[in-house]
Amino acid sequence: MERSITWFFLVYCCCCCCCCLASLSTDQSALLALKACITSDPQNMISTNWSTTTPVCNWVGVTCAARHLRVAVLNISYFGLAGTIPPELGNLSFLVDLQLTNNSFSGTLPVELARLRRLKLVSFGYNNFKGEIPSWFGSLPKLATIHLSGNQFTGSIPPAIFNISTLQVINMSKNKLSGSIPRAIRNLTMLKDLYLSYNNFEEFPTDIGTFDQLEILDLQFNSLKGHVPLSVFNMSSLITLSLSRNSLGGNLPDNICQHLPFIQGLYFDENQFDGALPSQLWQCKWLLVLLLFRNNFSGTIPRNIGNLTHLQDLALSDNKLTGTIPDEIGYLQNLKLEKASKSFDIECEMLSNVRHRNLIKIISSCNQSQFKALVLDYMPNGSLERLLYYEEYCSLNILERLNIMIDVASALEYLHHGYSVPIVHCDLKPSNILLDDDMVAHVADFGITKLLGGGDSMTETMTLATVGYMAPEYGMEGIVSRRGDVYSFGIVLMESFTKKKPTDEMFVGEMSLKRWVADSLLSDAIVRVVDANLLGKEEDHDFLNKRDCLSSIMRLALDCSAESANERISMQDAAITLHKIKNNFLKNIAAV
């Protein structure tokens, strides 16, 4: 009897092992099919590692579940891969997490992926997928996060997606989606984050519904028209409501803050809202950001705006507001006004003493206890940030961007080496670079400028510049030197030709704008990172000239933004190098 039981368990265990091995073999075949569809692997992440001589569970990017030894996670994000997705990937039946973010996969998504019914997270962001978003996503009953931003998806959002009751995060920003936001979206009662920005949506459903758990609603940079449905202002969990850069109009309700008790960011700028400013804004006690500029608001600024004690950013310009600026604005000690007086005096002193064609000129100033303002030369072409990211302006070619950055380099070279005392700007970024009628760049905003004692002297400060642009030694130790400006210049140089902010959502973990650009140069894949509007087609007669020019620019940007301050080049050398790059570019154009 005991012998029979022993044999039974031996046979059972053998069967289980054979079953597991057979199943793992299925997973291996699915991954090898993916490997076969990869046409470019510049970092050799897949080509040298995914081999039948090593166990599947040890392959890079692959994680197996401990209990059943099946592939549970496939994360090959940031590998720089190009290719297509094979239907065999749908055989990874135990897959829970599928991430392909920031590669160059293209084509459409195969319907066989609908078999991955255990999936909880799908991240296909920042690739080149196209076509309509597949309706089979609605067949994934456990899906909590769907991230498709930064692709070429067109059409509308398939209604089937709104049948997934478990969805908590939807990110479909930066595609070419259009039409109306579907009514069925109100079915997603668990939804927390909804990102649909940078698309072509034209219409809100009038009965979009109330989401009890929604915290982020981002619909900026679309083509939304008409009034904002009142139900939007009844989503009591909202922390951020971003409707910037649409064609929305009408009045804003007076009681916004009463219904949005936790709101921290209200982004209504660049629309067609009119009427008076909401009279009960003071009830938004946690509000940090209030952007209402470039609308048609009229009337006066409510005095109770001074009760927004946490407010850090307030923008009301380019409206039809009248009357005086209320003294109560002076109570906003957090609207970055704490050191405003000192900063204002510094900026006045700087701008009144420096003279350079690429520095902003001061015309007049107002320096009162409760109100301070500089009257500067009007720059009709706005900021470099606006030129880069607003659709009607984002047609800057290589030469135009080069000229802008040469202007900026010239301004910084003057501040660092051409004035009696070296000046460090400390906060260079695209929003501080303004363009005049002739597209000549002028560096502005000297609010946290520092004077140095000469040479390469350093000073310490508690003032922080903008995250993403500040040099490491500035952010960590408060050390200011001319090399810190050089670092910021390098980041702005990269941003100007990639059209990617250093704070873009694609840069997470160890991946940064610098790392992204550096990897592309190592793998000779600069075409993947630069703004797609700059290169044209490979068969174009000037394609190679453009590619070589952009590679040189990116190498210079990396030399400027080296991690160690001692390894960065000077602003003088950066300016000379940019001129050489421009001259070579023009010479090669003339030779074609």
Question: pLDDT tens, 120-137?
Answer: 999 999 899 999 999 999
Closest CA relative to residue 559, chosen from 459, 469, 455, 483: 483
Q: Check: CATH 3.80.10.10 for 204-337? A: yes
Q: Which CATH number fits domain 384-591: 3.40.50.1220, 1.10.3330.10, 1.10.510.10, 3.90.180.10?
A: 1.10.510.10
* Sign of the CA dihedral running 195, 89, 128, 97: positive
| CA–CA distance, 416 with 421 (Å, rounded to integer) | 8
pLDDT tens digits for 79-104? 889 999 999 999 999 999 999 998 88
Q: Please report the pLDDT score of residue 253 as a whole number.
A: 92
- Predicted confidence band at 458 (pLDDT cuts at 50, 70, 90)? low
Any catalytic annotation for residue 519? no
| CA–CA distance, 491 with 514 (Å, rounded to integer) | 8
Greatest CA separation for the chain: 103
Q: Please report the pLDDT score of residue 336 as a whole number.
A: 45
Tokens of 331: 């109570």
DSSP 280: T
Question: Is pLDDT of 62 > 90?
Answer: yes
Regarding pTM above 0.85, the answer is no
> Is 440 exposed, middle or buried, given 0-12, 13-18 or 19+ CB atoms closer than 10 A?
middle
Q: Please report the pLDDT score of residue 553 as a whole number.
A: 97
Looking at the chain, which residues constitute the CATH 3.80.10.10 domain(s)? Answer: 204-337
> How much is the average pLDDT of 21-31?
84
Question: Is pLDDT of 199 > 50?
Answer: yes
> How much is the average pLDDT of 389-396?
68
Question: Is pLDDT of 448 > 70?
Answer: no
More reliable by pLDDT, 393 or 289:
289
Pairing, β 200-203 against β 176-180:
parallel
Cβ-contact 337, 315 below 8 angstroms: no
Question: Is pLDDT of 372 > 80?
Answer: no
Q: Please report the pLDDT score of residue 280 as a whole number.
A: 85
Q: Which of 311-320, 469-478, 486-495 has the highest mean pLDDT?
A: 486-495
Looking at the chain, which residues constitute the CATH 1.10.510.10 domain(s)? Answer: 384-591
Return the percentage of the chain with pLDDT > 90, whole number.
53
H/E stretch holding 488: helix 482-498
| CA–CA distance, 242 with 291 (Å, rounded to integer) | 9
Question: Is pLDDT of 520 > 50?
Answer: yes
- First and final CA of the chain: distance in angstroms? 91
Q: Please report the pLDDT score of residue 203 as a whole number.
A: 87
- Predicted confidence band at 147 (pLDDT cuts at 50, 70, 90)? very high
| CA–CA distance, 368 with 570 (Å, rounded to integer) | 39
Question: Is pLDDT of 294 > 60?
Answer: yes
Q: Please report the pLDDT score of residue 382 as a whole number.
A: 87
| CA–CA distance, 479 with 483 (Å, rounded to integer) | 10
Q: Please report the pLDDT score of residue 447 as a whole number.
A: 58
- Min mean pLDDT across 360-369, 451-460, 507-516 is at 451-460
Q: Please report the pLDDT score of residue 1 as a whole number.
A: 52
- Predicted confidence band at 351 (pLDDT cuts at 50, 70, 90)? low
Alpha carbon 133 to chain centroid, angstroms: 22
- Provide the Cα torsion 319, 322, 323, 324; round to 10°: 20
pLDDT tens digits for 238-272? 999 999 999 999 999 998 988 999 999 999 999 99
- Predicted confidence band at 374 (pLDDT cuts at 50, 70, 90)? low
Cβ-contact 196, 172 below 8 angstroms: yes
- Predicted confidence band at 497 (pLDDT cuts at 50, 70, 90)? very high
- Min mean pLDDT across 198-202, 259-263, 313-317 is at 313-317
| CA–CA distance, 550 with 349 (Å, rounded to integer) | 38
Q: Please report the pLDDT score of residue 536 as a whole number.
A: 79
pLDDT tens digits for 152-171? 999 999 999 999 999 999 99
Question: Is pLDDT of 378 > 60?
Answer: yes
- Predicted confidence band at 115 (pLDDT cuts at 50, 70, 90)? very high
- Predicted confidence band at 334 (pLDDT cuts at 50, 70, 90)? low
Cβ-contact 217, 240 below 8 angstroms: yes
- Predicted confidence band at 15 (pLDDT cuts at 50, 70, 90)? very low
Catalytic residue among 193, 269, 427, 504: 427
